Structure 1
Amino acid sequence: MIPRIAFTPGEPAGIGPELAVRLANSRAADRRRAAQIVALSDPDLLADTADRMNLPLNLIPFDPHAPAADTPDGSLFVQPFRLAETAVPGRLNVANAPFVIDTLQSAARGCLQRRFDALVTGPVHKGIINEAGVPFSGHTELFAEAAGAERVVMMLAADELRVALATTHLPLKDVSAAITGERLQQVILILHQSLRDQFRIGAPRIGVCGLNPHAGEGGHLGREEIDVIEPTLDRLRAQGLHLLGPLPADTLFTPPQLARCDAVLAMYHDQGLPVLKFKGFGHAVNITLGLPFIRTSVDHGTALNIAGRNEADCGSLRAALAQAVQLAELRAL
């Protein structure tokens, strides 16, 4: 099987186009995993970026009816979309926001219709999309809506460390109210099922962080653990899930405890992701769980400050592609 991977480079004024060119030129090093990489982008944008970087790029028209073929070194298959206006590196343009949304929606449709085996996304700029009058809170929410998924879970992975989030982009003042028994149960069940079905871990072991320092210190530093988290974990343990915790995050994120877990569930964004990014920044992968298709992404943003300077590192994109290919191969077994 040669997996067919949809790839959306993202914001055209950011480093996404440069990452696409570097990805094409890394195929020789990544040859151990065959894949047909289909960029959903403007061919002129990719070609102009390659010329500016002084790197080769052969764009092969994508034929969805042809058998999947491995991507040659220095090449990308391309499904063409056209920018409204020429993109200038580092300079956002509201006119090109619909282009970004079109590529994402088309990639999601292609995955849902099984034209693609997985989706890898480059970084987008949420602000410019909203300034263009398109309500947009992120990739994850767009794909969840397209798939009709009630809830999805954000998980980042670096090497053997996997960190999922109970809540994502919320102000800290809103996190406690969002940690409900219903939400926790949904998130843990999605994480458990994904580890079992997508990653083929037979009996997943999930470490669960407490919300408060010292996991509430027996109620003296907060009662969320006693009132919400512990009862939810007990209900799920009764269903056969292997759950460790709730433990203080500064205890759970230590080697002896991590050795007991296949994944960690953090209660909020900056509880779990600083540890993950310290361990694996530059090669970490963002994985969306709970979708009916495989979606991985880079762990960084558009980097407008270095766009056009030929400095972008595609390590995270290569890791995201490798993870998508691996998951697609496991799904095909």
Structure 2
Amino acid sequence: MTGPRLALVPGEPAGVGPELCVRLAQAPRTDCSLVAFADPATLRSAADALGLPLNLLHEDEPARRPGDMPLRMFPNANAVVFGHPDPRNAGAVVGALLDAADACMAGRFDGMVTGPVQKATINEGGIAYTGTTELLAGHAGSDVVMMLANDVVRVALATTHLPLRNVADAIDVELLVRVLRVTHEALRTGFGIPEPVIAVLGLNPHAGEAGHLGSEEIETIIPVLDRLRAQGMHLVGPLPADTAFLPRKLAGFDAVLAMYHDQGLPVLKYSGFERAVNVTLGLPYPRVAVDHGTALDLAGQGLADPSSLEAAVATCARMAAQRQAR
């Protein structure tokens, strides 16, 4: 295998991440090679629960047969019971993420794919944790943007997990300039789009309707778009969010910038939740995550859909190959 080498971090060991990784090991890949950063006992338990073969290899050995999985070991502090997160294992979860990030930044790996984590359990384990995106951004010292993507649309977010009443105050010139620059550069370098077209949604209904439904478009969003257009970016908007996602309009956009979480993501998830992935733009390496949670109620039962993890690996492999080709 001569393609990109990707670190695969299952996430919360009591969730569905380990069994999804076991499913990935059942078919050889031609687009990349994978190394799991994980606890071997948990992966074996997941394989047993699924009734699937699993052959754990040294991280430098290539996978050749169904069930082969090269591994860098991160033993959990306590034995895992699927469906029941244990705060004592928080250190292994975060340690695997940070070690994978170090390996990517050192050039030993070309990208990282991550499974879902249980934020509350990590905090209960004594580690202050707001999310994997924030963890990796702080570790790399990077300005990052969250983008969700599937086969239909890519949606970047100006703000992420904010109460709705705080969103308008957060949308300022500095934020929008930073987010649009990071998104534009990532579309060029990670997705191979030389001159990306980005649709920018308005904050208010009807994109403010010339100031009658809010002034943020006139006072903030339009001046930013004009400024960045003068620097060569191809930006469309601000557009009313209720019509921007019509198929005939989406056909002309490479990405859509939504002002807040629930402005853009319901459309994306409706159009293809199973194949949706979460991409962290702005890191010095590609990082792609599944777009679902730990699904503790399904863990260990063989019921979890691997489609999002499969899409995350494929997306990360393409982005890593694109960077290698530059």
Fold conserved between structures, TM > 0.5 = yes
Secondary structure class of the residue paired with 2:209: helix
Q: For 1:75-86, list aligned pairs within 5 A.
A: 75-86=68-79
Secondary structure class of the residue paired with 1:297: strand
- 2:143 equivalent to 1:142: no
Q: Deviations over 1:195-230 (max 9, x none)?
A: 112111111100000011111111121111111101
2:152–2:272 contact (8 Å) kept in structure 1: no
Give the counterpart letter for 2:197 in structure 1.
R
Shift of 1:2: 2.2
- Percent of paired sites with the same residue: 55
Query: Take 1:72 and 1:272, find their aligned partners in 2: how far apart are those partners?
Result: 41
- 2:259 equivalent to 1:259: no
Q: Deviations over 1:155-182 (max 9, x none)?
A: 1111141110001111111111110110
Q: For 1:123-142, list aligned pairs within 5 A.
A: 123-142=116-135
Shift of 1:153: 0.4
Q: Which runs of 5+ in 1 are unaligned?
A: none
Partner of 1:39: 36
Q: For 1:55-94, list aligned pairs within 5 A.
A: 55-63=52-60, 69=62, 72-94=65-87
1:209–1:264 contact (8 Å) kept in structure 2: yes
Partner of 1:306: 298
Count of equivalent residues: 324
Shift of 1:71: 5.4
Q: Deviations over 1:239-273 (max 9, x none)?
A: 11110000111111111211121100000111111
Q: Deviations over 1:259-312 (max 9, x none)?
A: 121100000111111111111111111111000011001010000111121101
Partner of 2:226: 234
2:63–2:70 contact (8 Å) kept in structure 1: no
Q: Deviations over 1:29-82 (max 9, x none)?
A: xx4x3322100001111012111211111111113xx7xx45542211100011
> Which residue of 94, 99, 111 maps to 1:106?
99
Query: Take 1:35 and 1:190, find their aligned partners in 2: how far apart are those partners?
Result: 26
1:215–1:246 contact (8 Å) kept in structure 2: yes
Give the counterpart letter for 1:243 in structure 2.
L
Partner of 2:22: 21
- 2:9 equivalent to 1:8: yes
User: Structure 1 pair 71/36, CA: closer, same or farther in 2 (3 Å)?
Assistant: farther
Q: For 1:182-193, list aligned pairs within 5 A.
A: 182-193=174-185
Give the counterpart letter for 2:203 in structure 1.
L
Secondary structure class of the residue paired with 1:5: strand
Give the counterpart letter for 1:276 in structure 2.
L
Partner of 1:180: 172
Partner of 1:50: 47
Query: Take 1:62 and 1:316, find their aligned partners in 2: how far apart are those partners?
Result: 24
Partner of 1:118: 111
Query: Take 2:109 and 2:66, find their aligned partners in 1: how far apart are those partners?
Result: 20
Query: Take 1:289 and 1:157, find their aligned partners in 2: how far apart are those partners?
Result: 12
Give the counterpart letter for 2:282 in structure 1.
G
Query: Take 1:34 and 1:227, find their aligned partners in 2: how far apart are those partners?
Result: 46
Query: Take 2:217 and 2:42, find their aligned partners in 1: how far apart are those partners?
Result: 51
Q: For 1:189-200, list aligned pairs within 5 A.
A: 189-200=181-192
Secondary structure class of the residue paired with 1:221: coil
Give the counterpart letter for 2:32 in structure 1.
A
Q: Deviations over 1:138-167 (max 9, x none)?
A: 111111111111x20011111141110001
Q: For 1:249-288, list aligned pairs within 5 A.
A: 249-288=241-280
The TM-score normalised by the length of structure 1 is 0.95
The TM-score normalised by the length of structure 2 is 0.97
1:34–1:71 contact (8 Å) kept in structure 2: no
Query: Take 2:280 and 2:195, find their aligned partners in 1: how far apart are those partners?
Result: 20
Q: For 1:284-299, list aligned pairs within 5 A.
A: 284-299=276-291
1:8–1:40 contact (8 Å) kept in structure 2: yes
